[in-house]
Amino acid sequence: MQNEPLELGEISFPTWSAHTDKMAKVGFLAIARRLPSLVSQALRMAWQASPRDTLATVVLNLLGGVFTAFGLLATTGVLTALFSEGPTPDRVVAALPSLALVGVAAVLRTAVQAGAGWAQSRLTPQITRLAEERLYGLTSQVELVAYDDPDFHDSLERASSRGVFTAEYVVSAAVDVVTAVVGITAVAGVLGVLHPVLLPLLLLAVLPDAWAAVRSARMRYSTMYSLIPARRRKWIIADLLAERGSAAEVRAFTMRGFLLRMYDAVARAEQDVMLTLARRQTTARLVGEALGGIGTALVYVALGVLLAAAAIPLAVAGTAVLAIRSGQSSLATLMFATNRLYEQGLYFTDFLEFCAEAEQRLTGPRPHAVPDGFSSITARDVTFTYPGAEAPALRGVSVEIKQGEVIALVGENGSGKTTLAKILAGLYEPDSGTVHWDDTELRDVSPDELRRRTAVIAQDHTRWPLTARYNITMGTDKGEPALHAAAAVAGADEVIEELPHGYRTLLDRRFKDGHELSGGQWQRVAVARGFHRDAVLLICDEPTAALDARAEHALFERIRAHSDGRTVLLITHRLASVRYADRIYVLDHGTITEQGDHGTLMSLGGLYADLYSLQASAYR
């Protein structure tokens, strides 16, 4: 039904008075206090990216300010000579030395500013690379359970969608702020030398603009922050409408209209919020410009009063006008850069805060080395709860796996089989309980080293947009014999023989000369990937889900042959495939209810016998 209300889940659009982010509520003075910190953070990142280019940028901009002040002071000499008494030719000749100094100062200032721009342009790509490497280095290293935490996803969304890309803009804006401050300082110094009263006049014309710029930035950031859940949902729906993976079902289930309605609901709500933002920003800008115009008028009135009262000579007034105009230009640059720095700095802070949070989720140094092998793997009283879940996924689970055994985990969906396998593989750490390889507790060893000794064949395997070779070797090429052996065991060699370029075929049709595999073919490649690792513990999580009956039977025969001397942990709903397992653990709602071999469990007449008989009855 077209008028049926849509359930949009987590999407909400907070009112302007109920922003969740504390940074969206701070005032002008708080922002002013925060700017030095932002500049410092930006320059530190720039220094990490390239000390030479950072130093050149800062030094050359400082020299530009020095030459600006020198040129203004020289301008006073020019005006003094021109406004003095005497014949015009004599006054022009008297002004020539000062005029030459003005020209030299202008040339030098242009040269150093060009050099500063060149150094700054070199900084930009280096900063982008540094920020991206830091972000993706952390996202690929944090504990896996972080990806089950919605708060982590929101933080990651803020960091990756805007934060990482604003690093270069923050550094650029920080440099512009420094440059503008240097220019203002130079002008302020000149005005202070000319007459102390001239210095406060600068503030009259720019404070309103400063207020408007900061207020506009704060409103924009708070809006963008509140729209994160909505935009994430919109992007997901957009992918469903445009990606190849969902294209068939969108058409088969005539989902187009429903998805477009959902997309439009989110997009319209986002549009309304953005239109409100535009109106509020325009109002703030108009108020700021109006007050700024009044301030500028007061500046010229004050100069007229000073001239009328003979408080300053005409030459000084002329220089003051030029200095104030130069100062206004620098202040306008400062306000623009401040606005940009503050707004982008908020997103940059999201990036920095995510990095700090992600670093807290990294595994620290572990005292013990991972054994090369084991006599047994023992899990005792393992409990595990996913972030935000009300009930544990595992409760007091204990299992034992001896070297060389084939162990099966069976149970209905949601019983905890995959969670337990991930804990045994070192992908998750239990909330309580222990997992040992012989006498070594896994909490005391490096997770990366442990994972190098395990191989996981997952049902939801990744279809890597790489060549067939890299889809099997995963960048750890052990030579042609190992590659071909792993492919043969998994039956992937038959798949690869049919590819146009063999192992060099790119397995992604989105690219030129790319090739696509069927679900069953992809599964064989994923199985070959696990076999190629040649690990002491092989975990097979529904390895035959996409295979036909003949291929499934052949694969299990190959796994049994390949597992000679190896330890295999098998998770499957195809209970006929676990009959020959050395031991079967039956999980139900996060606890182990039965264990034993096939004959023992059938004699118990429990859950395993029920499930097995139910499946067997379908073939009678």
**Tell me, what's the pLDDT at 396?**
92
Our CA dihedral for 132, 134, 135, 138, rounded to 10 degrees, sits at: 150
Strand ranges for 486-620 from DSSP E:
537-541, 567-571, 583-588, 591-596
Amino acid at 181: V
pLDDT band at 17 (very low <50, low <70, confident <90, very high): very low
Mean pLDDT for the chain? 80
Question: Does 397 or 564 have the greater pLDDT score?
Answer: 397
**Distance separating alpha carbons of residues 534 and 548, to the nearest angstrom:** 25
Domain 30-360, classified CATH 1.20.1560.10, yes or no: yes
**Tell me, what's the pLDDT at 258?**
83
Question: Does 520 or 336 have the greater pLDDT score?
Answer: 520
pLDDT band at 381 (very low <50, low <70, confident <90, very high): very high
157-166, 372-381, 512-521 — which is least confidently predicted? 157-166
Residue 85's φ and ψ, nearest 5 degrees, are -80, 155
Tell whether the model's pLDDT for residue 250 goes beyond 60: yes
Tell whether the model's pLDDT for residue 25 goes beyond 70: no
Over residues 394-431, the pLDDT tens digits come to: 999 999 999 888 899 998 888 899 899 889 888 888 99
4-13, 238-247, 471-480 — which is least confidently predicted? 4-13
Residue 247's φ and ψ, nearest 5 degrees, are -60, -40
| Mean pLDDT across 171-191 | 78
Question: Does 608 or 460 have the greater pLDDT score?
Answer: 608
pLDDT band at 65 (very low <50, low <70, confident <90, very high): confident
Domain 370-453+535-620, classified CATH 3.40.50.300, yes or no: yes
Under 8 Å between Cβ of 303 and 226: no
| Mean pLDDT across 579-583 | 85
Question: Does 27 or 92 have the greater pLDDT score?
Answer: 92
How is the beta sheet containing 454-457 ordered, strand by strand?
A: 454-457, 537-541, 567-571, 406-411, 583-588, 591-596
**Tell me, what's the pLDDT at 21?**
46
pLDDT band at 18 (very low <50, low <70, confident <90, very high): very low
pLDDT band at 1 (very low <50, low <70, confident <90, very high): very low
**Tell me, what's the pLDDT at 216?**
75
**Tell me, what's the pLDDT at 583?**
92
**Distance separating alpha carbons of residues 216 and 207, to the nearest angstrom:** 14
Highest mean predicted confidence (pLDDT) among 93-102, 179-188, 379-388, 471-480: 379-388
Instruction: For residue 378, give Cα distances in angstroms to 40, 56, 98, 188, 563.
Output: 51, 60, 88, 74, 20
Question: Does 228 or 483 have the greater pLDDT score?
Answer: 483
| Mean pLDDT across 163-178 | 80
Q: Which CATH number is 461-534 given?
A: 3.40.50.300
**Tell me, what's the pLDDT at 14?**
38
**Distance separating alpha carbons of residues 486 and 535, to the nearest angstrom:** 12
Long-range own/partner contacts, residues 100-104 (CB < 8 A, 24 or more apart): 101/70, 101/71, 101/74, 101/77, 102/71, 102/74, 102/75, 102/78
**Tell me, what's the pLDDT at 277?**
85
User: Do the domains 461-534 and 370-453+535-620 match in fold?
Assistant: yes
210-224, 277-291, 406-420, 526-540 — which is least confidently predicted? 210-224
Token duo for residue 16 = 């302007």
Sorted by where each begins, the domain ranges of the chain are 30-360, 370-453+535-620, 461-534
pLDDT band at 359 (very low <50, low <70, confident <90, very high): confident
Highest mean predicted confidence (pLDDT) among 287-291, 310-314, 380-384, 531-535: 380-384
**Tell me, what's the pLDDT at 95?**
66
pTM exceeds 0.75, yes or no? no
**Tell me, what's the pLDDT at 23?**
44
87-91, 224-228, 332-336 — which is least confidently predicted? 87-91
Tell whether the model's pLDDT for residue 176 goes beyond 70: yes
**Tell me, what's the pLDDT at 266?**
83
Given phi > 0 = left and psi -120 to 50 = alpha, else beta, which region is 615? alpha
**Distance separating alpha carbons of residues 47 and 126, to the nearest angstrom:** 10
**Tell me, what's the pLDDT at 383?**
94
pLDDT band at 22 (very low <50, low <70, confident <90, very high): very low
